[in-house]
Amino acid sequence: MFDSLSDRLGSVFDRLRGRGALSEQDVRDAMREVRVALLEADVALPVARRFIDAVTEKAIGQDVLRSVTPGQQVVKIVNDELVDMLGGVETPSLNLEARPPVVIMMVGLQGSGKTTTTAKLGKLLKEKHGKKALMASLDVNRPAAQEQLAILGTQVEVATLPIVQGQQPVDIARRAMESAKLQNVDVLLLDTAGRLHVDEALMAEMKAVAGVSAPTEVLLVVDSLTGQDAVNVAQSFSGEVPLTGVILTRMDGDARGGAALSMRHVTGKPIKFAGTGEKLDAIEVFDPKRVAGRILGMGDVVSLVEKAAETIKHEDAEALAKRMAKGQFDLNDLRTQLQQMQSMGGIGMLAGMLPGMKKAKQAMQASGMDDKVLVHMDAIIGSMTPKERANPALMNAKRKKRVAAGSGTEVQEVNKVLKMHQEMSRAMKQIKKMGGLKGLGALFG
């Protein structure tokens, strides 16, 4: 997701950053390119326009152009506007404070991923929030939809409402409410029926179900791969039912990003979660700050560190976070990361999360390399002296030759490792300058 947008923006900003001084015209030219990139990513026209206007005004209005690092500052402004466009600095959450059973109504078109997402949320509520959940399918249109939810319920070990053949959605909703009360359920998830298109009958049904269940959350599930269509669907739904949030599915796919970037503006509602795969734990809180970071190609350091914290020994992670926060990052750190990458699912998993990794991954793929390369890189760094690892600048031609021979590789490969390290440490310094690593240390408390 966001790959091509990210590439386009990356090249615009590389050029901006590469210059010492910027004129108003430079900014306007860059913004013209950003606008095209946004439109190509399927961002709704008014949203793109507003974005460009806001960035341009801030970039040429303040003392940005006269500052020491104008390019850097423009990128920071773009970052902040992106965060805003994606929903703001607050991380969205579910409102679970109402009197139980809190009702979460899931709405959306057929095939959007609604049933799967219902089960993912059930699992999340149980495991991360310690809630007792009950799930009920009100989908009497799609054959076996109710059975599908029952099967998913068994998989995630969340109870589902027993199926009564022939019962209509509103009656199922009533029965689910009663059952939830009787069983002291904290959260009731209602998986409503989908249709292929938004139509009156569907909307009437949604309203009737909302009428009897008084949902605290009405979450619209949309498929991010459908781009502008997803936004249109969201707009039709938000006019009819009181949405409280959106869940974008298939964020693991190669959607161009338009849906995510336009959704907030069009519906006025936050994207609360992102579906990131078919597995039932593939759901993430949609954090605008992180997503903006990903789009700007600075890597999703926070996600990475969180993921790392689950896999990596506490002390290692803490030390790494401290060094990263200080902008120090030597070949020892790179090596630790390479080793951890292997235990965390390899290059594919990490690409795009780690600053500089995306380019490194592309370079690797281009030269036909795969996860085996991690082993080579490890050997290369292993053949360096401690001094060289701490200070990669020492690596002259002679030393490179020695390391290549020592690790059974070629000088070319040694160069690649050094280049990767350079790119990563540069990206980390950038993030540090932008204050993006604040709180990183706190993650490890």
Largest Cα separation within the chain, whole Å, is: 79
Report which DSSP code applies to 163.
Answer: P
Q: Is 26 annotated as belonging to a binding site?
A: no
Distance CA 220, CA 44 (A): 19
Taking the complex as a whole, the smallest distance from the CB of residue 106 to ligand GDP amounts, in Å, to 9
Only segment of 200-208, 230-238, 272-280, 317-325 that touches ligand GDP (CB under 6 A): 272-280
DSSP summary character for residue 52: H
Residues 6+ apart with CB under 8 A from 271: 86, 87, 92, 245, 246, 247, 248, 260, 263, 264, 286
Binding ligand GDP (rule: CB under 6 A), the pick from 127, 199, 278, 281 is 278
What amino acid is encoded at 38 in this protein?
A: L
CA distances from 103 to 115, 156, 333 (A): 16, 19, 47
Stretch of 88-96, 110-118, 415-423, 434-442 lying at the interface with ligand GDP (CB under 6 A) = 110-118
Q: Between residues 85 and 221, which has the closer beta carbon with respect to ligand GDP? A: 221
Q: Quote the least distance from Cβ 104 to ligand GDP, whole Å.
A: 15
Q: Closest CB to ligand GDP among 110 and 167?
A: 110
- Residue 112 CB, shortest distance to ligand GDP, in Å, is 4
Q: How far is 148 from 430, CA to CA, in rounded Å? A: 47
Confirm whether residue 336 is marked as ligand binding: no
Nearest distance from residue 121's CB to ligand GDP, in Å? 12
| Dist. CA 215–CA 98, nearest whole Å | 10
Angle, in degrees to the nearest 10, between helices 24-40 and 70-85: 30
Determine the interface stretch with ligand GDP among 11-19, 90-98, 103-111, 348-356 (rule: CB under 6 A): 103-111
Each residue 40-79 as x (binds ligand GDP by CB under 6 A) or -, in order, gives: ----------------------------------------
Residue from 6, 56, 116, 238 that binds ligand GDP (CB under 6 A)? 116
- Residue 112 interacting with ligand GDP (CB under 6 A): yes
108 is in an annotated binding site: yes
Closest-CA residue to 249 (of 128, 127, 116): 116
Alpha-carbon span 384 to 406, nearest angstrom: 9
Q: Say how far residue 52 (Cα) sits from the centre of its chain.
A: 23
CA 224 to CA 237: how far, in whole Å? 16
Asked whether position 275 contacts ligand GDP by CB under 6 A, the answer is: yes
Report whether 286 contacts 248 (CB < 8 A): yes
Residues binding ligand GDP: what is the number (CB under 6 A)? Answer: 18
CB of 124 to ligand GDP, least distance (A): 13
Among 6, 115, 160, 430, binds ligand GDP (CB under 6 A): 115
Q: Judge contact between 191 and 114, C-beta under 8 A.
A: yes
Site string for ligand GDP, 146-175 (x = CB under 6 A): ------------------------------
Q: Is 110 in the site for ligand GDP (CB under 6 A)?
A: yes
Q: Are 158 and 123 in contact, with CB atoms under 8 Å apart?
A: yes
The residue among 154 and 343 lying less far from ligand GDP, judged by its C-beta, is: 154
Is residue 359 within a helix (H) or strand (E), and if so which, with residue range?
A: helix 357-366
Cβ proximity to ligand GDP: between 155 and 328 the closer is 155
Distance separating alpha carbons of residues 379 and 414, to the nearest angstrom: 10
Binding ligand GDP (rule: CB under 6 A), the pick from 88, 111, 211, 345 is 111
Q: Is 253 annotated as ligand-binding?
A: no
For ligand GDP, the binding residues in 229-268 under the rule CB under 6 A are 249-250, 252-253
Nearest to ligand GDP of 133, 373 (CB atom): 133
Shortest Å distance, C-beta 344 to ligand GDP: 20
Rule CB under 6 A: say whether 141 interacts with ligand GDP: no
Q: Which single residue is written with the structure tokens 């060289």?
A: 388
How near is the Cβ of 174 to ligand GDP at its closest, in Å?
22
Burial class (CB in 10 A: 0-12, 13-18, 19+), 25: exposed
Q: Does 276 bind ligand GDP (CB under 6 A)?
A: yes
Distances (CA, A) of 231 to 54, 270, 394, 440: 22, 13, 53, 34
Q: Which of 35, 76, 114, 289 binds ligand GDP (CB under 6 A)?
A: 114
Report whether 359 contacts 424 (CB < 8 A).
no
Element (H, E) at 264: helix 258-267
**113: contact with ligand GDP by CB under 6 A:** yes
- Binding-site entries for GTP: 108-115, 191-195, 249-252
Q: Note the residues at the interface with ligand GDP (CB under 6 A).
A: 108, 110-116, 194, 249-250, 252-253, 275-278, 282
- Binding-site entries: 108-115, 191-195, 249-252
